[in-house]
Amino acid sequence: QSVLKQPPSVSGAPGQRVTISCTGSGSNIGAGYDVHWYQQLPGTAPKLIIYVNSNRPSGVPDRFSGSKSYTAASLAITGLQADDEADYYCQSYDESLRGSVFGTGTKVTVL
């Protein structure tokens, strides 16, 4: 059971902006723990695209941005491109579980 909830899917036309929510609780995001985001292309290992809520690793386009507020976080993708089609996961730490937790995952489709 994933304790971080994400919408199963979001879609948008090329060039549009989409957002993915990640809803947690007072024992994870709401307790102040950082949120990280991963992109997983089909058949590949996940790739870190946002760390510590809003930071981009080197090489990740600035079309990807992250934010966090209270018990939730969100990932925004602007200027949607065909190669953004992938599954996206949020991740944080949960003090009740004393370990990492992943979101349920969101499939992004470019129309």
Identify the residue among 23, 74, 86, 105 touching other proteins (CB under 8 A). 105
Strands 36-40 and 86-94: antiparallel
At closest approach, how far in Å is the CB of 57 from other proteins? 6
Site string for other proteins, 56-85 (x = CB under 8 A): -x----------------------------
> In terms of Cα–Cα distance, which of 107, 91, 86 is closest to 44?
86
> Could you say whether residue 47 binds other proteins (CB under 8 A)?
yes
Region binding other proteins by CB under 8 A among candidate stretches 10-18, 49-57, 69-77, 78-86: 49-57
Written as one letter, the residue type at 33 is: Y
Angle (CA) 73 75 79, round 5°: 160
